[in-house]
C-alpha cells in the first residue's frame, strides 16, 4: 500500500529533502558529570558509503547498516561490518530504498525493516512494506505490511514481538503533509499478525531501547518542539510511567544500552552531546564521550562495544561516513 503525499507538500518535501526534521535549538544547560568511574576507549573507521536516515542492527556477530540517504539518493544498500577486522561488505540494491525507518533483529537470523519514506521517481510516499533480511543467507523476503505506515518511527524487539512507536504519518486526506502520532503497533513474529497497543503519552518521534523486559523512550520532537521526557513502557501490561527527565531537550539522537547504562549520541543542534542514564541510580549525567559531531546517526551495542554509525551535520555537510567504537 502506497501512501502518497499531496502535490503541494511533495514540492515542499523535495525542496527540504535534506532537512532532518528538527529546527529548534535546545536550551543551554549545565549537565552533570558522569556517575561513577566510567572510562571508555574510542576508535574510528569509515563506512563504504556515507549516509544518514539509515538504521542498524546486529546479530551478535556482524553489524548491518541498512538504507538511508547517500550522495546517490535514497538507498537500498546493506553494508555488513565485521567487528573483528573493522572492514565491511557492501550489498547493493538489496532493499526498497527508504530512509527514517527502523531495523529490528529478532534474536535469531532475521532483521525486520519497518516504515520510513521512499520515492517513486520524485514522488515521496510512506513505506508500508515490511522487508525481512536473513543475516545468514542475505535473502530478503516480505512480512505482512504495516498499514499504519510511519516515518521516523522507533522500534524494538521484546519477547517474540516487535514494538513500533510514534513517528509521522500522512495528515487527513494527504492534503496537509505529515503529522506526528502517538501510535504503538505490535508485530508478533510467531503469529505474523499486527495489533495495536495503548498509545504513547505524547505524539512525537523518539528513540527506544529495551532493558530488563521494559522499553524506555527518551527525548524526541513533535514538529514544533524538542522533548526532555523519559518514559518506561511495560509490554506485558501496556503501562506507561514517566521517569527522571533528561537534563536537556534532545532530538535527532541515537540511543543504546550497555551493561546498566543507557547512552544517547548527538542532538539536533548540540551535535557532540552524549548523555548517560544509569538504571541503578536512576540519574542522568553527561557521558563526556568524544563523539564525532553528528545527528540522525544510528547506534548498536555488540559485546563490550557501542558503535555509532553515520549521520548528518548540516545542509552543506550532509553525509557522515564515520563509525566510532566506544569500548567499555
The pLDDT value given to residue 32: 54
3-state class (DSSP) for residue 172? helix
CA distance 102 to 167: 11
Distance between start and end Cα atoms, the chain: 44
For the chain, 328 residues long, give each residue's pLDDT as a single digit of tens.
Answer: 555 555 444 434 443 444 445 544 333 344 655 544 456 899 999 999 999 999 999 999 999 999 999 999 999 999 999 999 999 999 999 999 999 999 999 999 999 999 999 999 989 999 999 999 999 999 999 999 999 999 999 999 999 999 999 999 987 544 568 999 999 999 999 999 999 999 999 999 999 999 999 999 999 999 999 999 999 999 999 999 999 999 999 999 999 999 999 999 999 999 999 999 999 999 999 999 999 999 999 999 999 999 999 999 999 999 999 999 999 9
CA distance 56 to 66: 6
CA distance 27 to 46: 32
The C-alpha cell that represents 114 in the structure block: 519497518
Note whether 285 and 11 are within 8 A (CB).
no
The pLDDT value given to residue 15: 38
Note whether 307 and 79 are within 8 A (CB).
no
Q: What is the dihedral of CA 18, 66, 105, 163, to 10 degrees?
A: 20
The residues, ordered by sequence, that sit 6+ positions from 310 with a Cβ below 8 Å of its Cβ are: 47, 50, 51, 52, 54, 65, 68, 294, 297, 298, 319, 320, 321, 322, 323
The pLDDT value given to residue 119: 95
CA distance 189 to 273: 35
CA distance 256 to 209: 6
Note whether 209 and 156 are within 8 A (CB).
yes
Note whether 150 and 164 are within 8 A (CB).
yes
Burial code (b: 16+ CB inside 10 Å, e: under 16) for 99-114 equals bbbbbbbbeeebbbbb
The C-alpha cell that represents 169 in the structure block: 504519518
Count of H helices and E strands in the chain? 1, 31
The pLDDT value given to residue 275: 98
Q: Domain limits of the chain?
A: 257-328
Note whether 309 and 294 are within 8 A (CB).
no
Nearest CA-CA partner of 280 in 261, 303, 301, 304: 261
The pLDDT value given to residue 9: 44
Nearest CA-CA partner of 255 in 311, 300, 213, 319: 300
Amino acid at each position: 500500500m502506497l501512501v502518497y503525499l499531496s502535490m503541494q507538500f511533495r514540492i515542499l518535501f523535495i525542496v527540504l529533502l535534506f532537512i532532518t526534521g528538527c529546527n529548534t535549538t535546545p536550551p543551554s544547560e549545565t549537565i552533570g558529570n558522569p556517575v561513577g568511574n566510567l572510562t571508555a576507549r574510542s576508535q574510528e573507521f569509515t563506512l563504504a558509503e556515507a549516509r544518514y536516515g539509515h538504521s542498524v542492527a546486529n546479530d551478535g556477530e556482524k553489524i548491518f547498516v541498512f538504507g538511508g540517504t547517500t550522495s546517490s539518493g535514497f538507498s537500498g544498500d546493506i553494508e555488513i561490518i565485521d567487528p573483528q577486522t573493522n572492514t565491511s561488505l557492501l550489498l547493493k540494491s538489496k532493499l526498497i530504498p527508504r530512509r527514517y525507518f527502523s531495523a529490528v533483529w529478532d534474536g535469531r537470523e532475521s532483521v525486520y525493516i519497518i516504515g520510513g519514506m521512499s520515492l517513486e521517481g520524485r514522488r515521496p510516499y510512506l513505506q508500508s512494506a515490511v522487508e525481512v533480511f536473513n543475516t545468514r543467507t542475505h535473502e530478503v523476503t516480505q512480512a505482512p505490511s504495516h498499514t499504519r505506515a510511519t516515518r521516523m518511527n522507533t522500534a524494538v524487539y521484546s519477547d517474540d514481538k516487535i514494538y513500533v512507536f510514534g513517528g509521522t504519518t500522512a495528515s487527513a486526506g494527504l492534503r496537509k503533509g505529515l503529522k506526528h502520532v502517538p501510535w504503538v503497533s505490535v508485530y508478533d513474529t510467531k503469529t505474523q499478525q499486527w495489533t495495536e497497543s495503548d498509545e504513547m503519552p505524547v505524539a512525537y518521534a523518539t528513540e527506544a531501547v529495551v532493558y530488563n523486559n521494559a522499553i524506555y523512550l527518551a527525548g524526541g520532537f513533535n514538529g514544533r518542539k524538542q522533548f526532555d521526557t523519559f518514559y518506561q513502557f511495560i509490554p506485558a501490561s501496556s503501562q506507561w510511567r514517566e521517569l527522571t527527565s533528561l537534563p536537556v531537550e534532545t532530538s535527532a539522537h541515537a540511543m543504546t544500552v550497555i551493561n546498566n547504562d543507557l547512552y544517547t549520541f548527538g542532538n539536533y543542534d548540540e551535535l557532540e552531546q552524549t548523555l548517560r542514564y544509569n538504571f541503578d541510580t536512576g540519574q542522568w549525567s553527561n557521558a563526556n564521550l568524544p563523539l564525532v559531531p553528528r545527528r540522525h546517526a544510528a547506534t548498536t551495542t555488540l559485546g563490550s562495544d557501542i558503535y555509532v554509525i553515520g549521520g548528518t551535520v548540516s545542509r552543506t555537510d550532509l553525509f557522515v561516513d564515520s563509525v566510532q567504537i566506544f569500548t567499555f
